[in-house]
Chain A
Amino acid sequence: MKVLFTSIFSLFLALAAVGQHDDQQAGHEDQQHTESHADHGHHDLGCGIEHHEVTEYEPGPVAFHHIADQNIFTIGPVWFHLPCILYAPETGLSVFSSGKFHVADHHGDGTMAVDRYVIHSGVVMRVQDESFPMGEVEVSGFTGQKEMVNGKEKEVYYVCYHDQLYKLDQSSTADGGLFGGGITSFYDFSITKNVLTMLIVAILLGWMFISIARRYRKRSGMAPRGVQSFMEPIYNFIKDDVAKAMIGPKYERFMPFIMALFFFILALNLIGQVPFLGNPNVTGNLAVTLVLAIFTFIVTNINGNGHYWQHIFWMPGIPFAVKLIMTPIEILGLFLKPITLMVRLFANITAGHIVVLSFVGLIFIFGQMGTVPAGGWGGAVISILLTLFMSAIELLVAFIQAFIFAILSASYIGMAVADDHH
């Protein structure tokens, strides 16, 4: 057993080191890129857009670019182009491979427009203008500027085609403008990196648990074997310490939900940390955690009994004046609970990824300060140590956040189904 652990740990270390090496190489390419930009100086792309010179490495935008969802899946140096499924009321459904955008560089800008859709910084956007041709046409550049839209400052992007600028639309989001979205001219149903990862994780977990369940039936009364003996303690831990402790005697009805939440979140957290595997940031995506939190909200409130609703709307056993204050707070709390669930998972995973990416960014910051490759190598040594440390902490956070999400969901359900004990 000790040998097994040692070998797994050393494998992890080796992978992390190799992952660092890969990032470092990318960094050198970045540096070369920067130099070539500097050599060419201002390179006109038409429409008066100048290919802006990258003089200084900015860790913030780079980190945010790398945690975003994408239409490609990368395994090491190999790019897999994922299907784009886009729907606009005027032009109907468009289904094509994201390879048709011809993304040439790592900035994620496509050089082709397909059915009025373009890709800029890895985000699919649509040209609103009717005069823009359908089908595949070449575009020469993108530009963005801050504009006032409905009293709010917003970044608006334009694409250049035949020396003319066309305004771009972002895809519709149903957040009601809360996070800067809203209903626009098209809807994005693409199988992105995150969607693909979720599908793969769901299939893997389903296959694993169905095969384990089958083995329990076949070998009932015998000692567990293989992956069965690995999952059994985790399953029992969640059953005893989360479901039974929080929900109480009625826990069995909610076991599938709690287990699905825990293992799905855990698997997604862990898969985001494997070097080379595309590094999808699924649980660090607000939409994903929103849906998970909505499931908890629905399950909690559908199963809420009379006592639960009485405690929310007219808390018994307190003076009338206090009731008037408590009722709005309780109603607010009803919605705040899933919102904090959503934000907690999102913020923890995103923060972890950003910290790791910032540590990787140290290589470039050190390299630029010395303006010699030796500075980059010195930064790389520090970066490897810090990233390794952070990865270890992230491994812990992956478990803790999955556990927290499951135990808080269970406690909310427990509150909803608890019998009166006054």
Chain B
Amino acid sequence: MGGSITTLAFGLAVIGAGIGVGYIGGKAMEAIARQPEAIGDIRANMLIMAALVEGIGLIAIILAYIS
């Protein structure tokens, strides 16, 4: 690492993934507030979605590393 342009790519990648995970978490909270009885299903799906969005950030980080 160090002060190179790839370091910037880390940050930019994480911004996008962070916005995505934030939306997922927020919407899941709304859904739970609306239907508290479906908390189990919502939580499981929230985790899967968060993991998938996180994957995009991870791919970008890997590309930043190996470039």
Contact = CB atoms under 8 A, between A and B. Distances in A.
Nearest to A344: B58
Contacts of A411: 48
A365 B43 CA distance: 40
Contacts of B44: 241, 245, 407
Which 9 A-B pairs rank lowest in CB-CB distance, beginning with the nearest? A340-B55, A343-B58, A404-B51, A347-B58, A343-B62, A344-B58, A340-B58, A178-B66, A241-B44
B58 A403 contact: no
B66 A179 contact: yes
Interface string B34-67: 0000001000100110010011001101100110
Nearest to B66: A178
A344 B58 CA distance: 7
Interface in B1-58: 40, 44, 47-48, 51, 54-55, 58
Given A178-B66, A179-B66, A241-B40, A407 B47 contact: yes
Interface residues of A, number: 16
Interface of B: 40, 44, 47-48, 51, 54-55, 58-59, 61-62, 65-66
Nearest to B61: A347
A344 B61 CA distance: 11
A356 to B, nearest CB: 19
B66 to A, nearest CB: 6
A245 B66 CA distance: 37
A400 interface: yes
A408 B51 contact: yes
Contact of A344 (B40, B51, B65, B66): B51
Given A241-B40, A344-B54, A400 B47 contact: yes
A145 B23 CA distance: 46
A179 B47 CA distance: 30
Given A343-B58, A404-B48, A407-B48, 5 more contacts: A339-B59, A340-B59, A343-B62, A347-B58, A404-B51
Contacts of A178: 66
Interface of A: 178-179, 241, 245, 336, 339-340, 343-344, 347, 400, 403-404, 407-408, 411
B11 to A, nearest CB: 15
A91 B61 CA distance: 40
Contacts of B61: 343, 347
Contacts of A347: 58, 61
Contact of A336 (B48, B59, B66): B59
Given A178-B66, A179-B66, A241-B40, A408 B48 contact: yes
A241 to B, nearest CB: 6
Contacts of A404: 47-48, 51
Contacts of B55: 336, 340, 343-344
A289 to B, nearest CB: 11
A339 B62 CA distance: 10
27 contacts: A178-B66, A179-B65, A179-B66, A241-B44, A245-B44, A336-B59, A339-B62, A340-B55, A340-B58, A343-B55, A343-B58, A343-B59, A343-B61, A343-B62, A344-B54, A344-B55, A344-B58, A347-B61, A404-B47, A404-B48, A404-B51, A407-B44, A407-B47, A407-B48, A408-B48, A408-B51, A411-B48
Most buried by B among A339, A343, A347, A411: A343
Contacts of A400: 47
A378 to B, nearest CB: 29
A336 B62 CA distance: 12
A344 B53 CA distance: 11
Nearest to B43: A241
A241 B48 CA distance: 12
Contacts of B54: 344
Contacts of B62: 339, 343
A178 B67 CA distance: 9
Contacts of B48: 404, 407-408, 411
A411 B45 CA distance: 11
Contacts of A336: 55, 59
A404 B47 CA distance: 7
Nearest to B58: A343
